[in-house]
């Protein structure tokens, strides 16, 4: 095996009620004033109240920015950087899904490194970001433990990646499943399949390694066990806990391995049409899996077993294809929209979508070599589904 590196430097505080530790963690990080980055829904919900309550108890002053939008823009991050500097905050708290956490991480890096957000696409970040606590309220992106943030450059219609192994990692992740009890079924479903996509791509892509394999495989089994329950019965704390742990592990896996073609195509669609990240991934996951099987059938067979498929009497190939059928059925069960239902994505644009996805560097580590033709095949199959 080639030489690989594995990084994990975020303290994870987890379990029901762990959000009450926010204040204590802020004190430990030496904070004098915090900026909470979240969206308007969460800001006015009891979820944000739990965070602010804990900060108050610890005597940490805070301000709230509540304008995060799904697929945050570079200009949004510039705005929160200016706010953080003007208010002289020394702690960022990203509260929400990947969008809030990514905007908080990027803001924390912009404050200490300067410049505009657009200047930081895949550029080494020289100075450590401001201390940051991430508090996920979806079980999907794993952004609370990843060293990257995905931000949309609206001018270029492109999802850029702010990334650094040393200087863009959250100091603390607080993974409290009680914060997910209010997440509606459609968001639980699409973010949950995003986590599954992270785990499957981390496990099958060219740069996987034993440590990321272990995390990804366990994440897959947790998602197989709990995603449907979390969607159908959002108040099931055990299922929410399982999904939150799975998304965190899948995040730690893919950030040290990689994601592949599913993310390449969903980044294109997210940037061009503002499609939610989880929805775009869910739609293409089964078709890219199918395309990738010839590169590593044994790995896809193992994925099937982790998902709970009985291997008895099945060949490796049959098991591998059973994993694809499982994901198609899962998408139906949790009501992921079909590509045709996203009427704003027209068939005449498939060629351009395929071309742009093939140019995405994520294509390079995909399990099987993939170019424009491979993406077109996935688009056509998803469209006919």
Ligand X SMILES: NC(=O)c1ccc[n+]([C@@H]2O[C@H](COP(=O)([O-])OP(=O)(O)OC[C@H]3O[C@@H](n4cnc5c(N)ncnc54)[C@H](O)[C@@H]3O)[C@@H](O)[C@H]2O)c1
Number of residue whose CB is nearest Fe ion: 194
Closest CA to 107 of 148, 147, 150, 76: 76
Contact assessment for residue 110 and residue 168, using Cβ atoms and an 8 Å cutoff: no
The binder of 275, among ligand X, Fe ion, none, by C-beta within 5 to 8 A per type, is none
> Which residues of this protein are in contact with ligand X, per CB under 6 A?
39, 41-42, 70-71, 96-100, 102, 137-138, 140-143, 146, 148-150, 179-180, 182-183, 187, 191, 194, 251, 277-278
The binder of 360, among Fe ion, ligand X, none, by C-beta within 5 to 8 A per type, is none
Q: Which is nearer to ligand X, 251 or 260 (CB)?
A: 251
Residues forming beta bridges with residue 174, ordered by sequence position? 13
Beta carbon of residue 127, minimum distance to ligand X (angstroms, whole number): 19
Beta carbon of residue 251, minimum distance to ligand X (angstroms, whole number): 6
Sequence length of the chain is: 385
The binder of 205, among ligand X, Fe ion, none, by C-beta within 5 to 8 A per type, is none
Beta carbon of residue 73, minimum distance to Fe ion (angstroms, whole number): 18
- Residue 220 belongs to what H/E stretch? helix 210-232
Q: Which is nearer to ligand X, 149 or 353 (CB)?
A: 149
The binder of 38, among Fe ion, ligand X, none, by C-beta within 5 to 8 A per type, is none
Which residues 158-217 are close enough to bind Fe ion by CB under 5 A? 194
Beta carbon of residue 318, minimum distance to ligand X (angstroms, whole number): 31
25 lies in the binding site for Fe ion (CB under 5 A)? no
Q: Crossing angle for the helix pair 350-359 and 372-384, nearest 10 degrees?
A: 130
Closest CA to 268 of 189, 198, 351: 351
Q: Which is nearer to ligand X, 188 or 204 (CB)?
A: 188
Give residue for tokens 């395929």.
Answer: 354
Q: Which is nearer to Fe ion, 52 or 190 (CB)?
A: 190
Q: Which is nearer to Fe ion, 25 or 194 (CB)?
A: 194
Q: Look up residue 23 and give its two tokens.
A: 């204040």
Q: Which is nearer to ligand X, 143 or 256 (CB)?
A: 143
SS3 349: helix
The binder of 182, among ligand X, Fe ion, none, by C-beta within 5 to 8 A per type, is ligand X
Q: What is the DSSP letter of 73?
A: B
Q: Which is nearer to ligand X, 106 or 319 (CB)?
A: 106
Q: Which residues of 256-288 are buried (b: 16+ CB within 10 A; e: fewer)?
A: bbbbbbbbbbbbbbbbbeebbbbbbbbbbbbbb
Q: Which is nearer to Fe ion, 79 or 121 (CB)?
A: 121
Instruction: State the Cα–Cα distance between residues 38 and 59, nearest whole angstrom.
Output: 21
Phi/psi-derived region of residue 125, left when phi > 0, alpha when psi is between -120 and 50, beta in every other case: beta
Beta carbon of residue 184, minimum distance to ligand X (angstroms, whole number): 6
Beta carbon of residue 194, minimum distance to Fe ion (angstroms, whole number): 5
Beta carbon of residue 373, minimum distance to ligand X (angstroms, whole number): 26
Closest CA to 227 of 190, 281, 253: 190
Beta carbon of residue 109, minimum distance to ligand X (angstroms, whole number): 12
Closest CA to 325 of 298, 292, 289, 297: 289
Contact assessment for residue 234 and residue 138, using Cβ atoms and an 8 Å cutoff: no
Binding-site ranges for Fe ion (CB under 5 A):
194
């Amino acid at each position: 095996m080639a030489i690989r590196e594995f990084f994990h430097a975020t303290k994870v505080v987890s379990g029901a009620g762990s959000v009450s530790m926010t204040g204590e963690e802020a004190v430990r990080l030496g904070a004098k004033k915090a900026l909470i980055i979240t969206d308007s829904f969460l800001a006015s919900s009891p979820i944000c109240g739990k965070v602010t309550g804990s900060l108050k108890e610890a005597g940490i002053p805070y301000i709230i920015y509540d304008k995060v939008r799904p697929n945050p823009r570079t200009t949004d991050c510039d705005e929160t950087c200016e706010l953080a500097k003007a208010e002289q905050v020394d702690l960022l708290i990203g509260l929400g899904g990947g969008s809030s956490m990514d905007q908080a991480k990027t803001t924390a890096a912009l404050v200490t490194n300067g410049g505009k957000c657009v200047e930081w696409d895949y550029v080494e970040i020289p100075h450590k970001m401001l201390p940051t606590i991430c508090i996920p309220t979806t079980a999907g992106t794993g952004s609370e433990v990843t060293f990257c943030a995905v931000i949309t450059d609206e001018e270029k219609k492109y999802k850029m990646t702010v990334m650094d192994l040393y200087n863009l990692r959250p100091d603390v992740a607080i993974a409290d499943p009680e914060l997910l009890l209010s997440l509606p079924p459609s968001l639980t479903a699409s973010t949950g399949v995003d986590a599954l996509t992270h785990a499957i791509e981390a496990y099958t892509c060219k740069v996987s390694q034993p440590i990321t394999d272990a995390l990804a495989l366990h994440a897959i089994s947790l998602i197989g066990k709990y995603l449907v329950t979390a969607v159908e019965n959002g108040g099931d704390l055990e299922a929410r806990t399982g999904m939150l742990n799975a998304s965190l592990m899948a995040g730690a896996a893919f950030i040290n391995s990689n994601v592949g073609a599913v993310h390449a195509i969903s980044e294109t669609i997210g940037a061009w049409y503002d499609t939610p990240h989880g929805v775009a991934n869910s739609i293409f996951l089964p078709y890219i899996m199918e395309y990738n099987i010839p590169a590593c059938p044994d790995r896809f067979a193992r994925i099937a077993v982790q998902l709970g498929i009985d291997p008895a009497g099945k060949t490796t190939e049959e098991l591998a294809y059973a994993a694809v059928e499982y994901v198609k059925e899962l998408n139906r069960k949790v009501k992921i929209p079909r590509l045709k239902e996203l009427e704003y994505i027209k068939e005449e644009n498939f060629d351009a979508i395929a071309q742009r996805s093939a140019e995405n560097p994520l294509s390079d580590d995909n399990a099987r070599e993939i170019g424009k033709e491979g993406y077109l095949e996935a688009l056509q199959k998803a469209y006919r589904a």
